[in-house]
Structure 1
């Protein structure tokens, strides 16, 4: 899992948190869950054009990453190459205040 996302605190999501969110108890899916969790964290950081989570914003970024993780995990069989991906309104609302816009 990524260990440079939140300054001085550690990873944004632990494997245990990801599995609890997905309601997965077995260890057979650990590798794919870790990959999706890493992708979810990178996705929310990229959405905000940030390299690190701003201090104090950890709960919003964690919630958004968990929602993204759920989307990735639950829709893993229906992904079509070349298909565009939109951020859900909930994720957009959580991250909107932290998003950097380039002009």
Structure 2
């Protein structure tokens, strides 16, 4: 179990500002455009950069633009795609905590 002290050590503050990166639709979503992850990654890294410039202490990545047609289990390709995009964001901003 994480203590508040450990939490504060991760962010360096007791009241961190967490920015949200909303991804474009991902593979497995009914509204995915089928054009690959390049544009999704580019947008996510760009948004992360703006958040870091704005002074956030960390960010979270989510597939907000995917309709919730799968309330219990997300398709494997959606989970894999989200992981790939998050990995690329982390590579671009390795010192910023991310969830």
TM-score norm. by structure 1 comes to 0.29
Larger Rg: 2
Instruction: With a CA cutoff of 8 Å and minimum separation of 6, indicate the structure with the bigger relative contact order.
Output: 2
